[in-house]
Structure 1
Amino acid sequence: MLINSVTTIYFSPTGTTKKIINSIVKGMGIVNDKIVDLTLPKARRDDGIPLIDGEIVLIGVPVYEEKIPEIVYPFLANLKGNGSPVVLVSVYGNIGDGIVLNQLDFIAQKSGFKVVAAGSFIGEHSFSTEEIPIAQNRPNNDDLNKAEEFGKNIIKKIENINSLEDVSFKIPQGKLPLMAKIVPKNSARLFTKTPFADMSKCSHCNICVKLCPVSAIDKGTLEINEKQCLRCFCCVKMCPKKARKIIYKPKLLVSKVLTIKNRIIKEPKIYL
């Protein structure tokens, strides 16, 4: 089989998932690609479900609380695969990749895709700070090179088969840690404060307002709606004036737990 076009579908508030997806596409050597960026609310509207016209599809999401981010799940579940081959990608902050690939696999099969490859990659954790760096500056060059190599190997695999029926593929079952099973949904709010803006530093550029994936920031006051906030901390990491910061609660406990869990440097897992 020959592949000449790709449709990429991803959610990437801080840009790490986007970097991985772009590197995979680069490795594939495909120029003719269609991008469906689900990061902003308008892209996730019910009438925005795209027609899959790429010869292969890449779906990438970050790991939130060991699972697919809730706000993109309905959109992904409504995709129509029409037998297209699909590559599934998760990006996590070096703590745990959870069951995201299994969830994506379930959605893909139910939606009529044919899963041909999958991978979990590392990106800087949403909770990462200068004081408590968690997978800081990842994906790094090595990660991106591995993603690019992954793309090359996907194309080789597809080119060496006559039909998608020849593909035999299984993603190992992921695990949910005990904490993920017992804490309520949106538990990130339990461990971090809403990132308020320090108006002595803020230049009112409104970048945080424009980039918030759930439109939780008031354009006038720059205050964040607590109930809407995902704790993706896009508003912190993208602020050119560093007017917002991440504050853990309780600070000492969360800092200690994150430091312990981040001791082992994780590497990408590839399934081909």
Structure 2
Amino acid sequence: MKIESLKLVCFSPTGTSKTVIQGIARGINHDKAEIIDITTPDARREPLETSENELLVVAVPVYMGRVPALLVEWLQAIKAHDTPAVGVVVYGNRVYDDALIELNDMLAQRGCRPIAGAAFIGEHSFSSAETPTAEGRPDASDLRQAELFGCKIREKLNAVPSADRIDVAIPGCRPYRGDPTLWTVDFVAVSDACTGCGVCAEGCPTGAIDPEDGYSVDTEKCITCCACIKNCPAHARTMKPGLVRDASVRLSTLYRERKEPEYFL
């Protein structure tokens, strides 16, 4: 099957999903590839439309074992026309539960023809120097696996005349397990080291941080992605004692054993 272009969609507050999808793209090795980063609110204003001659790869992080609720509206607005598609989820070394089959179903419902799927590991959003979980991932080994997965996608497409000849079995349960509802919690501490540079507000995927006042966080909008903590150039943002910090300790304690990427073709 001839693919005229490659569309790579990612939601990646801390950069892990984007790094994985870039690795997959290297394996697919198409000379006409476009990355569509939907991390910020402005980037999610326009719906996506794709054709049968394009390959769509969508990578999202796993939140509570599910596709982030924040993305459902945008994903359900995709207009695809028999587009071969690959769903990819990135999780923090705990579990991905039904996130991958949920993403696969969403793509199919919007006119895509899923041909493959994968679950990769990225550093957990709650990970810190004191309580590391999957620290530094995706690492070199993960990215080799991502590139190999991309090669296998290309080989699979080359072996068939059209996407309607392809089937893929994605593991998971329907109805989906888990509750995608996120915590509403005031957990970010901002120290006097804050310079007011605005990096936190610029990178916030929900617009929860006031661009004029980095100390002000709208907890109703916050999705606890910790991008503002990880991306602060002055290291002025940390976790307050409480629910999120306690969770970071549990994750670091319970999920130390390395998990490896899984892909389905």
TM-score range, shorter chain: over 0.9
Residue from 186, 203, 206 that aligns with 2:182 = 186
**Where does 1:208-219 land on structure 2 (aligned, <5 Å)?**
208-219=200-211
CA RMSD of aligned residues (A): 2.1
Residue matched to 1:20: 20
1:206 counterpart = 2:205: no
Please identify which structure carries the higher strand content: 2
Q: Distance in 2 between matches of 1:7 and 1:252?
A: 37
Asked if the contact 1:93/1:122 (under 8 Å) is kept, the reply is yes
134-143 or 101-110, which deviates more: 101-110
Give the partner amino acid of 1:42. D
Post-superposition offset of 1:169: 1.4
Q: Which residue in the other structure is 2:66 paired with?
A: 67
Aligned counterpart, 1:115: 114
Q: Percent identity?
A: 33
TM-score after normalising by structure 1? 0.90
Which amino acid letter does the alignment assign opposite residue 126 of structure 1?
S
CA distance in 1, matches of 2:175, 2:233: 36
Paired positions, count: 263
Specify the SS of the correspondent of 2:263.
strand
Which residue of the partner structure matches residue 228 of structure 2? 235
Unaligned runs of 5+ in 1: none
Find the aligned partners of 1:245 and 1:218 in 2 and give their Cα distance. Answer: 17
Amino acid at match of 2:7: T
Unaligned runs of 5+ in 2: none
Superposition deviation, residue 50 in structure 1: 2.2
Conservation of the 8 A alpha-carbon contact between 2:87 and 2:100: yes
TM-score, with normalisation over the residues of structure 2? 0.92
Distance 1:13 1:142, change over 3 A: same
Cα distance change, pair 236–176 in 1 and its aligned pair in 2 (3 A): farther
User: What code does the residue aligned with 2:49 have?
Assistant: L
- What CA deviation, in whole Å up to 9, does each residue of 1:192-238 have, x standing for no partner? x421321x211221100111111111122211111111110100000
Per the alignment, residue 220 of structure 1 pairs with: 212
Q: Distance in 1 between matches of 2:15 and 2:260?
A: 19
